Structure 1
Amino acid sequence: MQMRLTDLGVKKLSFTEKGQVTHWDATTPGFGIRCSSKRKSYVVMYGRDRRLKTLGRYPDLSLADARKRARLFLATQGLSTDPQADHDYQAVVEAYLEDCRNRLRVSTLEGYVLYLSNIEFSGAIGSITQSDILKGIEQYTQSPSSQNYAFTTFKVFFNWAVRRQYVASNPLNALKRPNRTVSRDRVLSEEELKTLLKFTLGHRGRFHDIVSLLALTGQRKGEVAGLQWSEVDGDTLIFGPDRTKNKREHRVPVCSRAVDLLHDIEGGQIHVFGTPGDDQPYNGWSKAQRRIVEDTGLAHFTLHDLRRTFSTIHAKLGTPIHVTEKLLNHVSGSISGVAAVYNRHSYIAEMRFAVKAYDDYLANLLADC
């Protein structure tokens, strides 16, 4: 018996007097709920032998979770490896993201989830065409860089699907990125930096605090967004090897305004975490970024431009380039190769001197704020 399973429909299904009756879902092929005289169990049918696997019992398992389990099972285990089979696109996406969770950095995974979860396609993965993907990317993304990231995400995903034989070929294989990548050189002017910090420091919130800390410390977006109390030691941030791009511990002193912001406690949490107990990675970067550009009236900038601005200001202040690179945790600059192997000086004193100069610069810049 086939029907469109809903929460209310599942609830109303009757137990049988004897034997079993399976109600198959019209929206998810191979998935259904089996009713017996005592229980209702979600099941999935798979393979050429039409084998049956029990996913869980109702109401312990919700319909939405059961349907998700079914799709994941069919994509990873239950379906044959015949590339001609009609593998459900959403099920293959879920299988891919599950595989990514076991091997990719959190920041990389967040990008994959952003595009694969929000640019949705339905039906068999083999029916998704090149034009479908390009149209979806164009409708969802606005900036050329976002379109490039989305394009790369889908191209990598379909390559994975081809290797797993969920699809015969990659529809994007013959294409290159839609937009030529141009190296950015955007640096905020003093007036722009003043406008931005005046706005973010005056309008507290999770994203605004992250932006403030990026401008005040020059650190990377992922490091600041994932900041924890254990990584704050007075006026110093301490990032372990698992939290840095180059896999090396990074100790960096920060200016007094950053210290004040970090120790503005709300419920015992660093404010960038938002509400107490909220330790989830920040999401919604693109939307929040567009809003802050609109609210401040500044010309378009990216969060990484703040790191470039931080470095440029230190050049104006006379900070030696190798000290700036230490503040930014660069390892491919003036101290690299053999020099990096033999030079193990921490430059903490030199960094503190540079941070003091930056502190004075900010005090003059924000004197009337």
Structure 2
Amino acid sequence: MKLRLTDLSIRKLGNPQGGQTTHWDATTPGFGIRCSAKSKSYVVMYGAKRRLKTIGRYPVLSLSDARRQAKLFLASQATVPNDAIEHDYQDVLSAYLTDCHGRLRPSTLEGYLLYLNGIKLDGPISEICQRSVMQAIERFTTSPTSRNYAFTTFKVFFNWAVRRQYVTVNPLSNLKRPHKTTSRDRVLSEDEIKVLLSYTLGQMDRYCGIVSLLLLTGQRRGEVAGLRWDEISDGWLHFSPDRTKNARGHAVPLGTLGLQILNRAKTHDVFVFGDADFDQPFSGWSRAQRRLLRETGLPHFTLHDLRRTFATVHAKLGTPIHVTERLLNHVSGTVSGVAAVYNRHSYEQEMVLAQSTLDRFLCRLIEEP
């Protein structure tokens, strides 16, 4: 009930025999006095969930002081994000993905969409706990690597939600990735390289062209798969910062074998390995890789293993490691510290020589009986 609270009206308020009765001030919204069997206490109501806070007891605290404290408290609450507001998980996820579209590289966004759209969670985001997230991930995939990627994706998402004040705490903040990871060390042997290149260079499909160029240049999968005709000039591949993992512009020379692959690639307006209908970058990696392994009989390897193989072969051929790192577009490595700041030599001649040496080695390897 509401009434105009004064010293006189408060003195006249009776104490109920049982329970509590709250009288709200007609002049100060959210401020009132709660009467119980033995006492009277000033209270203030705040927040979307209409929480109550006790300010002090009457008559120890005067009405004027209690009203002033109530106004100060309510003013302070107005400047604090209201964590009582419930935000639906799907609404927050939609806002996050919209934000991601504007700032993430397409390959990164593709991975986020895979897990965030594929792993279903519902309800208020504040009620989503560790257990519900981890169980949803386990239902979605049995692969340890995929579970680790999914976990990291959700941890990044909840960190974003905390920063945007959709939720007060990240439910995954004190957890580590569910599976320990070990660095891959798979390097294709010379016999395997011979089998692989003999097969891929003899095929005309886009995937074999990509695989061949990955082994010949040591570049990353996304860089080669999304290769555009305007990124090729005078026997070099030129990648702008937005096309590389480390956001650094990069160029790598091609040898004879690499140029042969580009010369026989089907002509599309934009992408070297674009599809016939829509001229879009290659997709369907898993199926194509299974077919390649089946038809060559090679033991399992990933496309990133070709990058490691490229570096290993260059080491065998005597290519200086700093030149190999330039070919791979590695930021950190043998040239670091003060040398990295002042050494602006591009190593173009050394890179061309190294790639020519690799090209001759691979040609001899393929031609061996």
Q: CA–CA distance in 2 between the matches of 1:283 and 1:219?
A: 17
Partner residue in 2 for 1:111: 111
1:312 aligns with 2:320: no
Contact 1:214 1:224 in 2 (8 A): yes
The residue number in structure 1 matching 2:275 is 274
Give SS of 2:319's match.
coil
Q: How does 1:177-188 map to 2 (within 5 A)?
A: 177-188=177-188
Give the share of equivalent positions with the same residue, in percent.
58
> Cα offset for 1:211?
2.2
Residues 1-369 of structure 1: pairs in structure 2 closer than 5 A: 87-269=87-269, 270-275=271-276, 277-279=278-280, 282-285=282-285, 288-289=288-289, 292-294=292-294, 296-367=296-367
How far 1:96 moved relative to its partner? 0.7
Q: CA deviation at 1:324?
A: 1.2
**Structure 1 residues 191-213: Cα deviation after superposition (integer angstroms, max 9, x where no partner):** 22233334433444444332222
Q: Which residue is 1:21 aligned to?
A: none
Deviations 1:58-107 (CA, angstroms, capped at 9, x unpaired): xxxxxxxxxxxxxxxxxxxxxxx865555443332221111112222333
2:117, 2:290 → 1: CA distance? 20
Gap change, CA 1:136 and 1:210, over 3 Å in 2: farther
Residue type at the aligned position of 2:274: F
Change (3 A) 1:100 1:195: same
The count of corresponding residues between Structure 1 and Structure 2 is 289
Structure 1 residues 138 and 262: alpha-carbon distance in aligned structure 2, compared to 1, 3 A threshold? farther
8 Å CA contact retained: 1:268, 1:276: no
For 1:276 and 1:177, the matched residues in 2 are separated by 41
The offset of 1:320, in angstroms, is 1.5
Q: Is there any run of 5+ residues in structure 2 with no aligned partner, and where?
A: 1-47, 49-80
Q: CA RMSD in A?
A: 2.8
**If you compute each CA radius of gyration, which structure gives the higher value, 1 or 2?**
2
Is the 1:246–1:331 contact (alpha carbons within 8 Å) kept by the matching residues of 2?
yes
Query: CA–CA distance in 1 between the matches of 2:289 and 2:140?
Result: 15
Shift of the 343–159 alpha-carbon distance from structure 1 to 2, 3 Å rule, reads: closer
- In structure 1, C-alpha distance between the alignment counterparts of 2:120 and 2:103, rounded to whole Å: 24
CA gap of 1:207–1:172, structure 2 versus 1, over 3 A, is farther
For structure 1, the residue ranges without an aligned partner over 5 or more in a row are 1-47, 49-80
CA distance in 2, matches of 1:325, 1:233: 21
| Contact preservation (8 Å) 1:130, 1:171 | yes
C-alpha distance 89-232 of structure 1, shift in aligned 2 (>3 A) = same
In the TM superposition, residue 253 of structure 1 has moved relative to its aligned partner by 0.7
Deviation (angstroms), 1:151: 0.8
Q: Cα gap change, 1:256/1:282 in structure 2, threshold over 3 Å: closer, same or farther? A: same
* SS, match of residue 238 in structure 1: strand
Contact 1:84 1:167 in 2 (8 A): no
Task: Tell me if structure 1 keeps the 8 A contact 2:228–2:272.
Answer: no
Which whole-Å CA distance do the structure 1 matches of 2:96 and 2:153 have between them?
11
Question: Residue type matched to 2:197 in 1?
Answer: L
User: Which one-letter code corresponds to 2:279 in the other structure?
Assistant: D
Describe the shift of the 1:131–1:176 C-alpha distance in structure 2 as closer, same or farther (beyond 3 A): same
Quickly say closer, same or farther: Cα 1:265–1:184, change in 2 above 3 A.
Answer: closer
